[in-house]
Chains A and B, each alone.
Chain A
Amino acid sequence: MEFFRIKQDIPFMRHARIFNIISLVVFLLSVYFLIARGLHLSVEFTGGTLVEVRYQQPANLEQVRAAMAKAGFGETLVQNFGSPQDVLIRVPLSADGDSRKQGEVVMQALASDAPGAALQRVEFVGPQVGNELVEKGLMALLLVVVGIIIYLSLRFEWRFSVAAILANLHDVVIILGFFAFFQWEFSLSVLAAVLAVLGYSVNESVVVFDRVRETFRARRDLTTEQVLDHAITSTISRTIITHGSTQIMVLSMFIFGGEVLHNFSLALTIGICFGIYSSVLVAAPLAQIFGVSREHFIKPPPSMEFAEGELIHPEPDPADFR
């Protein structure tokens, strides 16, 4: 079985401008939603109390809400969590009273006005923690970016490293844009997913750029555009199969992982889909815009690879590239 039977290099680069426009539009939309709607941050970031309870029968949310209102909680959020029996109650930090006892107060209120609830989980996060998490998250993001740029610059060329990182930062912004648009809850595990995606999708650009370098050395007859097309075409089947496999795993988490892994796997899914697109169709054009050319790669003397590559590739029909 072989899914990809590609007769000749696909002229991706010819349509580079279209891809760039699509990227720009999606990117700007994401930024817009991030600013206009903001992220729906989880209790870990905002501080507050989270109580998860389980009822034997499907829970009566109205009753739970009434119980909360009666107990004097103002802006509580009451929702089902994964199944009709499970209820999640989110109480913001409050100035009056001891917010550390909120978990107990909630349980007492439920016991009297919406009985039958078994406590599954209580989470309280104080106001000190949230800001620090945002700071540390941004710091981690920054250092991942710097680290990857340095590594790729050493391994390849600064043009490639900058192109790769820009392409993948664009993924990160788009993931955040989705979370802002749909107001999905952005939790710490989603943050972990976003950073993991950043490290993972850069791979994709690495694989393509590896090929680009190899092709530049092996094929002196191709223009830069043709080299990029050739590199993308010859790695596309691997790209899709690899990401497909990872996506199978992520899908499995999405289906079986329950509510806790739900948004985590959602972030990964968006990251993987846009990762394929951007690392191939955004990174390569960007590298071209930055002006990569053969001269950047012929510094090392021709190696074994060079000799083999010459033998392996059949001459392309120049007509294909018109």
Chain B
Amino acid sequence: MYNRYPLWKNLLVVFILALGLTYAAPNLYHPDPAIQISGESGATAMSQTVLDQAVGALEAAGIGVKAAEFNAGAVLVRLKQREQQLLAKDVIEKAMGVDFIVALNLAPTTPAWLANLGAKPMKLGLDLAGGVHFLLEVDTRAMVAKKAESAAADLRRGLREANLPNRQWSVRLEGSQVVVRFPDAATREQAIKVIREQAPDMMREESERDGQFLVTLALSETAVRELENYAVDQNVVALRNRVNELGVAEPLVQKQGRNRIVVELPGVQDAAQAKRIIGKTANLEFRLVANPETPAMQRERFSFRNNPAQVYELEESVIVTGDQVTGATSAFDPETNMPQVNISLDSKGGEKMNRVTRDNIGRPMGVLFIEVKSELQKQRKPDGSEELVRVRKTEKSLINVATIQSALGVQFRITGLDSQAEASELALLLRAGALVAPVDFIEERTIGPSLGADNISRGFHSTLWGFAAIALFMIVYYHLFGFISVFALGANLVLLIALLAMLQATLTLPGIAAIALTLGMAIDANVLINERIREELRNGASGHAAIMAGYERAFGTIVDSNVTTFIAGFMLLVFGTGPVRGFAVVHCLGIITSIISSVMISRALVNAIYGKRANLRSLAIGQIWKPGTTSAARA
């Protein structure tokens, strides 16, 4: 009894195929171009009125609406034609006003019964769907420098308050280190306690130089690492908030490596606007304007943003920063009709604001606007070659100076802004949270929607025609066994797509190339098997023995060759980013599915066809030529 699978194995094959077909099926349904409407804040309710208003506006503009529905707290309007999607967005934006966020989307059309099984179409990468991709690098050095700066300020204050007998000490920043100098060892001894209190997380080192007694403070490696992690994680949170404010259907904001963040905005075409909102490191500082009593060491000069000639001196210490802002909305001052931003602070910030303003009624307070800008500059390396280096500039300028009329609390407003647009952008940035460390755009990609559609059809046609040509050749060359191989190859394709859809891996153009290549390579296993069977037949084995030996002997080779391919694929997965990773994911998954399909599924089919026949004299595997015979013999 050769070549039969036990019932459980046959059932397993049927089950795998059914599972594959089910989860691959949603990809057959083209998604609808859609417009997604959501409220600017969570409070804006999406009612039937909103839906009717949007649909009405589209119909009035002559844009075909296929359907409209509520979907996860948003309204989703499906359109008939993809070309009208951008136009439809404009129409709805005009009709709905500023309270709503209108975004482009692609709505899946998976039938309900498939959706109920959890089957979803594959996620398309930006190169297929169109959109904007950014890779940001978080400048953690700036973060470390800022930390050292604030430690230095704390130390100065602490030492001043400690009233040391000898006042000849100094605190200075040297790179990311803080150096405290004392005139004698006794003073240093007295100060150590203060230093330990003010900078508990810094590493201390005592030394003597030029007759002075020094304490050098630096952040430990772990502290720097923690600070970096904190900076990147906080930035991810702030970026998510900002992206949500932009109104993108399915954005991706993800940490990558040690200090990078990937931002992907499908459907977005205006990269410039997205960049302005995402990359801005805007923050605010509230400080008192210096009065005659303020020591010279604790004064800083700033000029007005819209009038550089107008200069004020502010105190060095900051009352609150934008980080303590919990809410910000733009509005108009009812008296002057000038734009303003209404701000609410968290309780800690409010308390501090209240304490400081209570004691300083009648003194002016300044609002500093802080922006970090970076540009590329040429720098000469020690070996004489030139290199492009990113240089960062922090610009601090005044936007408003006003006299404190009464003690302020958690709520107050800022005026002195140029325009309504500036007010709403500042409000948005404050609301979404400041970036704790500045970011650089180190990679940026914008892909138009039509290019994405082109890429899909290119990838699809490559795979289709390649598959068809291989299928034709296999059937002509190996007859029934060729057909079985093609069936296995088809099963491989279905399983691979099902697996990608189940894992919700992102499909890119290199990913499609990997599908095609995997199929082209997977046929190798079946060629190995078929050639082995022919060889066994050539050497006079019976049909059943040939099938048995063919599959069994080829198996070792198939595993070997797939393992080596897998090693290469895995390394691409580990070291690759972007397009390489998209390729590698599919390549690796494809190797797994091809072993299943070329060995198990094709064998099941062979067994189903030949298994029940005793005395198998010939196999439909094409003509077999035997050495020694002049004319080809039919096996």
Contact = CB atoms under 8 A, between A and B. Distances in A.
A125 B137 CA distance: 12
Nearest to A5: B625
B561 A249 contact: no
A112 interface: no
B445 A121 contact: yes
A72 to B, nearest CB: 16
Interface in B516-549: 516-517, 519-521, 523-524, 527-528, 531, 534-536, 539, 549
A188 B375 contact: no
Contacts of B627: 5-8
Contacts of A188: 576, 578-580
A128 B442 contact: yes
Chain B interface extent, by class: 35 or more
7 contacts: A144-B567, A147-B567, A152-B564, A196-B565, A248-B470, A253-B462, A260-B127
A253 B191 CA distance: 73
Given A124-B441, A128-B442, A140 B517 contact: no
A120 B565 contact: no
A116 interface: no
By secondary structure, the B interface counts as helix
B502 interface: no
A261 B517 contact: no
Interface stretch (B56-64, B176-184, B453-461): B453-461
Contacts of A245: 470, 473-474, 520, 523-524, 527
A261 B509 contact: yes
Contact of B477 (A94, A241, A252, A313): A241
Given A124-B444, A192-B572, 6 more contacts: A124-B441, A147-B570, A199-B568, A200-B565, A206-B560, A245-B473
Given A234-B535, A248-B470, A104 B272 contact: yes
A1 B561 CA distance: 27
Interface in A137-166: 137, 139-140, 143-144, 147-148, 151-152, 155
A128 B587 CA distance: 28
A203 B524 contact: yes
Given A95-B376, A99-B376, A140 B557 contact: no
B579 A98 contact: no
A207 to B, nearest CB: 5
Interface in A238-280: 238, 241-242, 244-253, 255-258, 260-261, 264-265, 268
A136 B516 CA distance: 25
A1 B623 contact: yes
A177 interface: no
Contacts, number: 257
Interface of A: 1-2, 5-8, 44, 47, 52, 54, 93-95, 97-101, 103-104, 118-129, 133, 136-137, 139-140, 143-144, 147-148, 151-152, 155, 188-189, 191-192, 195-196, 198-200, 202-203, 206-207, 210, 234, 237-238, 241-242, 244-253, 255-258, 260-261, 264-265, 268, 305, 308, 312-313
B477 A119 contact: no
B381 interface: no
B466 interface: yes
B575 A139 contact: yes
Given A120-B447, A129-B442, A260 B477 contact: no
A117 B569 CA distance: 39
Given A140-B575, A188-B579, A119 B448 contact: yes
B135 A253 contact: no
Interface string B124-140: 00010000000101000
Interface string B565-602: 11111111011111110011001000000000000000
Contact of B564 (A125, A203, A312): A203
Interface of B: 127, 135, 137, 271-272, 275, 375-378, 387-390, 440-448, 450-451, 454-455, 458-459, 461-463, 465-467, 469-470, 473-474, 476-477, 509-510, 513, 516-517, 519-521, 523-524, 527-528, 531, 534-536, 539, 549, 553, 556-557, 560-561, 563-572, 574-580, 583-584, 587, 622-625, 627-628, 632
Contacts of B587: 196
Contacts of A5: 625, 627
Given A123-B444, A248-B470, A249-B519, A148 B524 contact: no
Nearest to B581: A192
Contact of B462 (A95, A191, A256): A256
A121 to B, nearest CB: 5
A195 B569 CA distance: 8
Given A93-B388, A192-B584, A257 B513 contact: yes
A35 B137 CA distance: 33
Contact of B524 (A196, A210, A237, A246): A246
A202 B388 CA distance: 41
B563 to A, nearest CB: 6
Given A120-B447, A124-B441, A248-B469, A192 B576 contact: yes
A111 B528 CA distance: 58
Contacts of B441: 100, 124, 126
A142 to B, nearest CB: 9
B528 A257 contact: no
Nearest to B587: A196
Contacts of A148: 564, 567-568
A249 B459 CA distance: 11
A260 B466 CA distance: 17
